[in-house]
Structure 1
Amino acid sequence: MTQATHRPASWSVVATVRASAPVCNLFARHYLARGARQVFLFHDDASVACNVALHGVRNTVCQGRWWRRGRPDALEDRQVHNATKAKAWCETDWLLHCDVDELIWSAQDVGEVLGLIPDDVGGIVINTAEAVYAAPPSQHTMFRTPFFKFFFDERGRPRAYRAISQQAYGDLWNASKYGLWGHILGKSFIRAKADVGRMPLHHKKQERINGFLMRQQAPQLVLRHYDTLSPEMWKEKHLRRIRSEVSVPMAGRFRERQQALIAEAEARDGNAGLDQLYLRMSTLPPGILAECLTEGFVRVIRPEAHLLAQDHS
């Protein structure tokens, strides 16, 4: 492995989004505040697209001629296509591909961390931490929680919190990945000028591509995943999938189990059933939350000041 240049690296972020203007604005403002030079937003649905008018943000509405060979049915295929376009446009050293409900965190400057990566590394795997709440949030407060669930322990050991996560979620646990509802694969920074093919959805499976190492770990970086969102956004996300309004074939069996629970709750008790299930999936009672913190399954990452701001319009 060659030595890094030891200078701060420049970086950008890309996301394919279907979200409200406040959420898109908060996403962009967060990444700009954390040091991103460019933010690429690909708006997947023209009917809800917004224009984030901030310096460094490039908005693309994905309709009409954007899809020269036809719009891919699978959301994941559209995400990879758009991220690969952003890699070609990118003017920075690195590009992070993530979703609009994923916000990077580090105790260090992100560019400083990236600048320490050796020159023959083309991909950096960023592990996720999944948000959990003491009380149900709104769309305007869902990014303010300081509580996050972890799949890896502090030594990097996976599946470390089986017992405490089973205690936390009881009969819902089998629909989770050791207490996490979203993915545990993480996302990745890809070196923008590296010839490593299309951008990955999560990260490259190969250890090396064209001389570049593709699975470097950077434990200083964490991707906070706000998977359960707010109650209304959570319902919309899952019900659109249940009703086949969006195709997400790579979501996996755990998402299928979650959506079976959601469909059953709606069929049995309507909106009240959905609210009750959301409460169980997104929040932890005080006593359980305290135990999870003691065990290390839940850890505290305090939100930055810009996430606490009232206006993200």
Structure 2
Amino acid sequence: MTWGICATVLAPTETILKFAAYHLEQGAHRLYLYLDNDNQDAYHVLKQHAKVRVRMCDVGYWAKVSGRRPLKHQVRQTVNATHAYNRPTEVDWLTHIDVDEFLVSNQPISDILRTVPASRNCLRVRPMELLGGSKTAFKTFIAAPNRSTLVRKIYPDFGQYLRGGFVSHVAGKVFVRKGLPDITVKIHNAFQDDVAFADTLELDAIQLAHCHAASWDAWRAAYDYRLDKGSYRADLKPAAEAGSSAVNKHALFQQLQAEEGEAGLRRFYDEVIGDSADLRARLSAHGLLREVDLNLEAALAKHFPNATV
């Protein structure tokens, strides 16, 4: 039972190679990587690996697949993921994830996929979110029916603005069985004949380790882009936990900046994201802390030993 990953990547070469190496180490049979900028260094290293299919998303590529380059990166991701799905079949299952996401399981992913009933064609893996400043500590997905209560208890100041206590998505990503007709793969879902799969199976044996904010500096560096065009943009819905206040993260962050300046953003980061003994204790009290060593350096050295990064 083989599986592969597709990703549209815009990141430093070392980050891309670590992402690729990690998933090759986990047993990925194919990686379909779409470089969103002219990263020649990454391209030439990845091109040499037998299990990697890499494309430079230049003017010629976009002219061929969609007429022109879509302005929104979310649209480019969808076009590329669907393009990867429609390639000649080389794997049994394909998932679309981002360069800061890593599939984690306690057993080979191929063994897990082998147990999926033949009637199921779409599988969902839920995320866990890195604590900023740590390389191994993650807050895990809350599946409990009292999720809103737990989130407000763990994050007393900002829990009402957080879906599941996460700064980023809780939807996770999906695996889609290859070989089906009329498939469109989007960021968090897949569609057949423009209809979402109604029988998507929750795959609890695999988690998606999401390194959304590796540190305060990394989070702050990405903040303005996310606020304008990414996961904190104004058109996204507020968390269900917001209740009648119905304020999304975009509005929250703008309010914090207006009232408290940079200190407001730092206060949010310290309560919700940053690795601290206090946050670890709050998560541990509810069984929501997991330690995972992704061991990216070792994977990089093994799968791309001659890369200069």
Please report the TM-score for the alignment, with normalisation by the length of structure 1: 0.78
Q: Is the 8 A contact 2:96 2:175 kept in 1?
A: yes
Aligned pair in 2 of structure 1 residues 246, 214: CA closer, same or farther (>3 Å)? closer
The whole-number CA distance in structure 2 between the counterparts of 1:93 and 1:309 is: 24
Q: Is the 8 A contact 1:20 1:48 kept in 2?
A: no
Q: Secondary structure at the match of 1:50?
A: helix
Aligned pair in 2 of structure 1 residues 231, 48: CA closer, same or farther (>3 Å)? farther
1:19-168 mapped onto 2 (5 Å cutoff):
19-46=11-38, 50-51=42-43, 53-54=45-46, 55=49, 56-68=51-63, 69-89=67-87, 90-132=89-131, 136-137=132-133, 144-152=135-143, 157=144, 159-168=145-154
Deviation at 1:35, TM superposition (A): 0.4
Q: Is the 8 A contact 1:98 1:187 kept in 2?
A: yes
Please report the TM-score for the alignment, with normalisation by the length of structure 2: 0.79
RMSD over equivalenced CA pairs, Å = 3.4
Q: Deviations over 1:79-114 (max 9, x none)?
A: 111011111235111111111111111111100111
The whole-number CA distance in structure 2 between the counterparts of 1:86 and 1:310 is: 24
Q: Secondary structure at the match of 1:239?
A: helix
Aligned pair in 2 of structure 1 residues 182, 146: CA closer, same or farther (>3 Å)? same
Task: Quote the residue 1:175 is aligned against.
Answer: 161
Deviation at 1:48, TM superposition (A): 9.4
Q: Is the 8 A contact 1:175 1:258 kept in 2?
A: yes
Q: Is the 8 A contact 1:75 1:248 kept in 2?
A: no
Aligned pair in 2 of structure 1 residues 201, 276: CA closer, same or farther (>3 Å)? same
The whole-number CA distance in structure 2 between the counterparts of 1:97 and 1:38 is: 12
Q: Secondary structure at the match of 2:156?
A: helix
Aligned pair in 2 of structure 1 residues 166, 109: CA closer, same or farther (>3 Å)? same
The whole-number CA distance in structure 1 between the counterparts of 2:17 and 2:53 is: 12
1:222 is aligned with what amino acid? Q
The whole-number CA distance in structure 1 between the counterparts of 2:235 and 2:16 is: 24
Q: Does 1:303 align with 2:293?
A: yes
Deviation at 1:176, TM superposition (A): 0.8
Q: Secondary structure at the match of 1:167?
A: helix
Query: Which of 182, 187, 191 in structure 1 is aligned with 2:177?
Result: 191
1:237-248 mapped onto 2 (5 Å cutoff):
237-243=222-228
Q: Secondary structure at the match of 1:195?
A: coil
Aligned pair in 2 of structure 1 residues 218, 241: CA closer, same or farther (>3 Å)? closer
The whole-number CA distance in structure 2 between the counterparts of 1:172 and 1:245 is: 20
Q: Is the 8 A contact 2:22 2:299 kept in 1?
A: no
The whole-number CA distance in structure 2 between the counterparts of 1:246 and 1:163 is: 24
Q: Does 1:236 align with 2:221?
A: yes
The whole-number CA distance in structure 2 between the counterparts of 1:63 and 1:246 is: 25
Deviation at 1:214, TM superposition (A): 4.7
Q: Deviations over 1:147-182 (max 9, x none)?
A: 323221xxxx4x544334223322222221131111
The whole-number CA distance in structure 2 between the counterparts of 1:77 and 1:250 is: 15
Task: Quote the residue 1:225 is aligned against.
Answer: 210
Aligned pair in 2 of structure 1 residues 250, 114: CA closer, same or farther (>3 Å)? farther
1:21 is aligned with what amino acid? T
Runs of 4+, deviation exceeding 6 Å: 245-250, 308-312
Q: How many residues align?
A: 289
1:67 is aligned with what amino acid? W
